[in-house]
Structure 1
Amino acid sequence: MKKIINILLGCLILSIGVLILRHSHLVTGGTVGLSLSFSYIFNLPFTLLFFIINIPFYIFSFIQMGWKFTVSTILAVTIVSMLTSVDQFIPAFNMNPLAGAIIGGIINGFGLSILFLNKASLGGLNILALFLQKKCNWNPGKVNFVFDCLVVLSGIYFIGALKGMLSILSIFFTSSIISFYKKKIANSIQSEQDKEMYKVKSKVIAN
C-alpha cells in the first residue's frame, strides 16, 4: 500500500512539473519530452501521445526488468496521462521560460526520484537508464541527462534555440536531483533482485 501511495505522489509531482514546462513552452527528455514536442508539432493531446510512445518500451521492460517493474511503470504512465489531461480544463496561461525551466526541472527531478525509489518509472528512456544502472552500475541521473539532451536537441528546430537551451537547463536540474538519490535507487533495485532470487531458490529447494 505504501508503494502505491508513493507512486501516486511521484506521479502527481511529475504532472505538475510537466504542466509547468508545457505552459513555459519548453520540452524535457525521454518520452515526456518527445510527447511534448509532438504535441506542439501535430497539435495533438500530450496524454494520447505519451501513452502511445511508451508501448514499445513496455515490451523491453517486461523482458529486461521483470513484470512487477513493468506493471508499476504502466500504472505510473497511466496516472500521469490522466493527471496531465486536466490541462484542458485549466485557464490558458503562459509562464516565464527561465522560471519554468528551473521550477519544472526541479519538480520533475523529485517526481522521477520517487518513482525510481519505488521500482517504477515513466517508461521510455527511464527504463533504459535504470537497466544500465542495474547491469553496468551507471549513474541513472547522468544517463538520463545524455538521453534527454538528445531528445531536446532533436526538437530545437520546433521550439527555437533559446527555449532549447532552457530545456537543457531544466533537465540538468532534473538529472542532478536523480543523481543525488542514485545510491538509494541502486539499493532499491538490488533489494528487489535479492527478493526475486530468494523466491527462485525457495522454489528450487521446494521441488
Structure 2
Amino acid sequence: MPSASPSSASPSSTSPGRPEAGLEPLSVDVTIPHHPVEDVLGVLTGTFLASLGLYLLQMAGAVTGGTAGLALLLTHGTPLPFAVLFLLVNVPFFALAVWKKGWAFTIRTVICVALISGFSLVHHHFLALGHVPLVYAVVGGNLLVGVGLLIIFRHRASLGGFNVLALILQERAGLRAGYVQMAMDVVVILLGALVMDWPRVLLSALGGVILNAVLALNHRPGRYRA
C-alpha cells in the first residue's frame, strides 16, 4: 500500500509546538491576588522593617522624608514621642486616602501607621542602642525603610502622608511614585536645617535619595503580576 504524500495529510495536523493556521497562540495573563494571610504577614513584615529603619535614624539624630521625617523633626521641639507624632501628622492624609483610594486602602493604611507607631515603642523597649554612627544609621535606616515600603505597597497599603499622594499621582498622572516622593522629601529634609547642623542635614538628604531610589527602581506599574 503506497504511503500518503505530504499533500494528503489531514488539514488539522500541525507541527508540534506550532499553532494551527488562522489561530492566535494562547497568552497567559493571570493575576494571582494575595491571600488575606499573606497580606497580614506582608504588612507586619513591611512595617517592622520600616519602623526599625526609622528607629536607627532617630537614635542617630537624623531625619528622612515624608510624614515620618516630619514626626522625627517634631521630636526635637516637642515632648511627645515619635509614636504619637507619627499618628498625628498622618491624620489629614487619611481623608485624602478615603477620597482617592477608597475605604479598603485607607483602613490598611491606618493599620500600617498604627503598626509603625507600635513597633517604634517595641524597638525602644527591646533594642537599647547607644551611639549609632550617623553614616551607618542614614544608609542602613533608609534602606530598611525603602524595603519596608516596597513590601507595604505590594500589599495595597501605604504609610500614609506623602505615600498616599505619591501613589495617587503615579496612578492618575503616570509619575513614578519614587520620584514624586523624592521631591516632597527634599522639602522636609531641608526643614531639618532649622534644628540640625548642615552636615547632618546633607547626610539626611543622601539618605532620602537612597530611600527613594529603592522605590523608583523597584516600584513600577505593571512590573509585577501578584
Aligned amino acid, residue 144 of structure 2: I
Q: Cα deviation per residue 1:42-83 (whole Å; 9 max; x = unaligned)?
A: 132000010011111000100011111101100100011000
Which residue of 61, 79, 103 corresponds with 1:25?
61
Matches within 5 A, 1:132-151: 132-151=169-188
Deviation at 1:182, TM superposition (A): 2.2
Partner of 2:159: 122
Match of 2:47 in 1: 11
Bigger fraction of residues in helix: 1
Q: Which residue of 2 aligns with 1:195?
A: none
Equivalence map 1:46-195=2 (5 Å): 46-89=82-125, 90-183=127-220, 186-187=221-222
For residues 162 and 222 of structure 2, the distance between their equivalents in structure 1, rounded to whole angstroms, comes to 20
The structural deviation recorded for 1:91 is: 2.9
Letter in 2 for 1:81: S
Listed as ranges, the matches of 1:26-45 within 5 Å are: 26-45=62-81
Superposed CA deviations along residues 108-148 of structure 1, whole A, max 9, x for unmatched, are: 11011111111111100110000000101101111111111
State the distance in 2 between where 1:25 and 1:87 align: 16
CA distance in structure 1 between the aligned counterparts of 2:177 and 2:197, rounded to whole angstroms: 28
Contact 1:134 1:189 in 2 (8 A): no
Partner of 1:198: none
How far apart, in 2, do the equivalents of 1:159 and 1:43 lie?
A: 17
**Scaled by the length of structure 1, what TM-score is found?**
0.87
One-letter code of the match for 2:222? N
The residue type paired with residue 128 of structure 1 is: L
Give 1:100 deviation, angstroms.
1.0
Shift of 1:92: 4.8
87-96 or 25-34: which moved more?
87-96
Q: Aligned in 2, Cα 1:188/1:78: closer, same or farther, shift over 3 Å?
A: farther
**What is the distance in 2 between the residues matched to 1:30 and 1:106?**
15
Unaligned runs of 5+ in 2: 1-36
Uncovered stretches (5+) of structure 1, i.e. residues with no partner:
192-207
SS state at 2:63 partner: coil
Paired positions, count: 189
Asked whether the 8 Å contact 2:52–2:123 carries over to 1, the reply is no
Distance 1:9 1:68, change over 3 A: same
State the alpha-carbon separation in 1 of the partners of residues 40 and 141 from structure 2: 24
Over the aligned positions, Cα root-mean-square deviation in angstroms equals 1.7
Question: Max radius of gyration: which structure?
Answer: 2
Q: Any runs of at least 4 consecutive aligned residues in structure 1 with deviations exceeding 2 A, and if so which?
A: 86-92, 186-191
* 1:42 alignment partner, SS class: coil
User: What is the identity percentage for the equivalent residue pairs of Structure 1 and Structure 2?
Assistant: 29
